Chains A and B, each alone.
Chain A
Amino acid sequence: MNTELGTVRKRKTGNLTIYLFLIAPLAVYAIFFLFPNLNSLFSSFYKWDGVAPVKEFVGFSNYIKMLGDPLFWKSFGNTIKYTITLVAFQTLCGLLLAVLIFKASKIHNFFRTLYFMPAMLSAVTVGLIFGFIYDPNMGALNKFLEAVGLENLTRSWLSDENIVIYALAFVHVWVGIGQSVVLFVAGLQNIPYDLYESARIDGAGPWKQFTRITMPMLKSTTLIVLVLTTIGGFKCFDYVFVMTGGGATHSSEVLATLLYKEAYAYSDFGYSAAISVALLIIVSVITAVQMRLLRKDA
Chain B
Amino acid sequence: MKKWICLAMVMVMVCAALVACSVPATPSGGTDETAETPAAEQPSDDGEETEDPPAQSGGDVSINFITWRAEDADVLKEMVAMFEEQNPGIKVNLEITSSDMTEYYTILKSRLVSGEGADIFHCHPGAYLDQLVEAGYCKDLTDTGLGELYDEEFYDIGVINNKLYGLVQTYNSFAVFYNTKLFDELGLQKPSSYADVLAAAQASTDAGYMPIAAGFAEAWTTGMVYEQLMANYSPDDDMVFKKLEDGEYKLSEEPYLSVLNDIAQMNTDGLFQKNAMGTKYDASLSLFARGEATMLITGTWSVGGLKDMDESLEFGLFSLPGVNAEAVGIVSPSQLICVNDKSSATDAAMKFAEFLSSVEAETFYSNNTKQAPTVKGVEVDVAELAEVSKLMEGKTAVLSDTYIKDPVMVSIMDEVAAKILGGQDVQSAAAEGQAQIDALIAENNG
Contacts and interface: CB of A to CB of B under 8 A. Distances in A.
Q: Give the one of B10, B105, B134, B275 with max A CB within 10 A.
A: B275
Nearest to A21: B10
B47 A54 contact: yes
B21 A50 contact: no
Grouping DSSP codes into helix (H, G, I), strand (E, B) and loop, the A interface class, with mixed when no group exceeds half, is loop
Contacts of A195: none
Contacts of B286: 138
A24 B287 contact: no
B277 A156 contact: yes
Given A135-B278, A161-B422, A265-B411, A51 B219 contact: no
Q: How large is the interface on A (under 10, 10 to 19, 20 to 34, 35 or more residues)?
A: 35 or more
Contacts of B210: 137
Contacts of A46: none
Nearest to A250: B415
Given A24-B17, A51-B135, A265-B407, A248 B418 contact: yes
B422 A159 contact: yes
Interface in B349-398: none
Nearest to B130: A49
Interface stretch (B106-114, B225-233, B241-249, B316-324): B106-114
Nearest to B45: A54
B131 interface: yes
Contact of B278 (A156, A245, A264): A156
A241 to B, nearest CB: 10
Contact of B218 (A53, A137, A245, A267): A245
A6 to B, nearest CB: 14
B315 interface: no
Contacts of B13: 24
B278 A17 contact: no
A266 B404 CA distance: 13
Contacts of B134: 52
Given A137-B275, A156-B275, A51 B131 contact: yes
B265 to A, nearest CB: 19
A53 B10 contact: no
Contacts of A136: 274-275, 278-279
B131 A267 contact: yes
A264 B45 contact: no
B291 interface: no
B135 A52 contact: yes
B277 A131 contact: no
A65 B419 CA distance: 24
B82 interface: no
Contact of A20 (B7, B131, B411, B422): B7
Contact of B47 (A28, A53, A265): A53
Nearest to B112: A51
B309 interface: no
A23 B407 contact: no
A145 interface: no
A137 B273 contact: yes
A121 B23 CA distance: 33
Residue in A13, A17, A248, A266 with the greatest tally of chain B CB atoms within 10 Å: A248
Given A31-B21, A135-B283, A158-B278, A51 B132 contact: yes
B89 interface: no
Contacts of A65: 443
Contacts of B132: 51
Given A20-B10, A247-B217, A248-B422, A50 B113 contact: yes
A261 interface: yes
Nearest to A261: B102
A13 B278 contact: no
Nearest to B407: A266
B270 interface: no
A184 B286 CA distance: 44
Nearest to B278: A156
Given A51-B131, A156-B275, A265 B102 contact: yes
A222 B6 CA distance: 40
Interface string A151-193: 0000111111100000000000000000000000000000000
A107 to B, nearest CB: 39
A49 B273 CA distance: 38
Nearest to A14: B3
B422 A158 contact: no
A65 B14 CA distance: 42
B174 interface: no
Contacts of A50: 109, 113, 131
Given A24-B14, A24-B17, A267-B407, 13 more contacts: A13-B3, A24-B10, A24-B13, A54-B47, A135-B278, A137-B273, A137-B275, A137-B279, A138-B286, A159-B422, A244-B217, A245-B219, A265-B411
Which A-B residue pairs are the 3 nearest by beta carbons?
Answer: A156-B278, A136-B275, A159-B278
7 contacts: A23-B10, A28-B17, A136-B275, A137-B279, A156-B277, A159-B217, A266-B411
